[in-house]
Amino acid sequence: MLSSSNSEWFKDWFNSPYYHILYKNRSFVEADLFISNLANYFSFKKEDIILDLGCGKGRHSFSLNKYAERVIGLDLASESIKEANAIKGNALYPDFRVGDMRSFQIEFKFDYILNLFTSFGYFDSLVDNQNVIDTVAKHLEDEGVFVMDYLNSEKVRQNGPSEEMKVIDGIEFQLKKTIDANFVYKNIEFEVNSKKYNFTERVQLFEIESLQKMFEKSGFSVIENFGDYNLNPYFNDSDRMILVGKKETY
Ligand SMILES: C[S@@+](CC[C@H](N)C(=O)[O-])C[C@H]1O[C@@H](n2cnc3c(N)ncnc32)[C@H](O)[C@@H]1O
């Protein structure tokens, strides 16, 4: 059985073809709607430089590029970056790159850095989590903006554990969600050509206050907490937990 239960599970799973099959319906339309709401809210300008951190196949990056000319998408999964580049063709932007959000180095200072659709909270150590936010802060202009779109831990706890089966492209995925004090786990089991696979996604359940503290520790003031992609305010039972931090100038 091919399995991924190690602490760096995200390296194998997000780079596997089966991850892309399971989530193939992840919507470019949803991404477009969210980005157009953010564009209205922030009044993105053509000359803004924007980073989509943990961009996957780049659905938000393509959308961002309608508002700002220079958009960079960064992801650890080389297969996703390959697919994003294939969609892009010969255009200069979005400029997709392979890199680790904990330690990336990019030659630009950004006006906005966006970390969307729960592309955080995978790491074992709090130091790694803080490194991500520190590295973001280093890459922002003074008063630059960091948007983190994360799962809402309160709602995940309210919904509790679950099990379901999905058949996609002829593959039967058995999905089992469990929750403990600090993490939500999604166990994914399936079989292809008589070979059994088993992956477990593991995402940390941050309370809003602890994420806010991490932002502040890296030099951000939290200026907004949204609860969904229409940018309604955050409540305990909101669909999402979307933090907006502004880099303080000293
Ligand atoms: C849930 S997916 C979201 C992808 C994309 N933002 C979207 O909405 O389609 C999380 C992404 O984070 C990326 N990721 C995980 N760990 C990473 C790391 N250490 N550095 C950069 N990207 C990482 C994964 O490869 C994956 O593409």
What is the strand order of the sheet 95-98 is part of?
95-98, 70-75, 49-53, 110-115, 140-151, 240-247, 220-226
User: Residue 183 pairs with which residues in a beta bridge?
Assistant: 204
227: CA distance to ligand 1 center in Å? 21
The pLDDT tens digits for 162-207 are: 999 999 999 999 999 999 999 999 999 999 999 999 999 999 999 9
- What is the per-residue pLDDT for 3? 47
Model confidence band, residue 68 (pLDDT cutoffs 50, 70, 90): very high
100 and 169 both lie in a single domain: no
Q: Is 29 helix (H, G, I), strand (E, B) or coil?
A: helix
Q: What is the average pLDDT score of the chain?
A: 95
- What is the per-residue pLDDT for 2? 46
For a ligand 1 pocket test, name from 4, 6, 8, 10 the mutation site with the most ligand atoms within 8 angstroms of its C-beta.
10
101: CA distance to ligand 1 center in Å? 9
Provide the token pair at 200.
């477990």
- Its pTM stands at 0.95
40 and 69 both lie in a single domain: yes
Considering only CA atoms, which residue is closest to atom 9 of ligand 1? Answer: 56
111 and 33 both lie in a single domain: yes
103: CA distance to ligand 1 center in Å? 14
| Domain boundary pick from 182, 202, 222 | 202
- Residue 77 Cβ inside 6 Å of ligand 1? The answer reads yes
The 8-class DSSP code of residue 249 comes to P
136: CA distance to ligand 1 center in Å? 15
118: CA distance to ligand 1 center in Å? 8
Q: Is the confidence at residue 240, as pLDDT, over 90?
A: yes
78: CA distance to ligand 1 center in Å? 11
113 and 198 both lie in a single domain: no
By the 10 Å C-beta count (0-12 exposed, 13-18 middle, 19+ buried), 27 is classed as exposed
53 and 116 both lie in a single domain: yes
Provide the token pair at 136.
């973001």
- What is the per-residue pLDDT for 174? 97
Within 8 A by CB and 6+ apart from 154, the residues are: 207, 236, 237
143 phi-psi bin (left φ>0, alpha ψ -120 to 50, beta other):
left
Q: Is 71 helix (H, G, I), strand (E, B) or coil?
A: strand
58 and 146 both lie in a single domain: yes
Provide the token pair at 234.
């955050």
* Domain housing 70: 2-151+206-247
78 and 109 both lie in a single domain: yes
54 and 121 both lie in a single domain: yes
- What is the per-residue pLDDT for 53? 98
- Residue 34 Cβ inside 6 Å of ligand 1? The answer reads no
Closest atom of ligand 1 relative to the 57 alpha carbon: 9
How many domains would you assign to the chain? Answer: 2
126 and 162 both lie in a single domain: no
- Residue 81 Cβ inside 6 Å of ligand 1? The answer reads no
- Residue 66 Cβ inside 6 Å of ligand 1? The answer reads no
Instruction: Report the CATH number that the domain containing residue 83 is assigned in CATH.
Output: 3.40.50.150
How far apart are the C-alpha atoms of 63 and 32, rounded to whole Å? 6
Q: Is the confidence at residue 11, as pLDDT, over 50?
A: yes
162 and 241 both lie in a single domain: no
How far apart are the C-alpha atoms of 114 and 46, rounded to whole Å? 17
The pLDDT tens digits for 106-151 are: 999 999 999 999 999 999 889 999 999 999 999 999 999 999 999 9
- Residue 10 Cβ inside 6 Å of ligand 1? The answer reads yes
122 and 181 both lie in a single domain: no
97 and 163 both lie in a single domain: no
Give the rounded percent of residues in the chain with a pLDDT score beyond 90. Answer: 91
Provide the token pair at 119.
């592309």
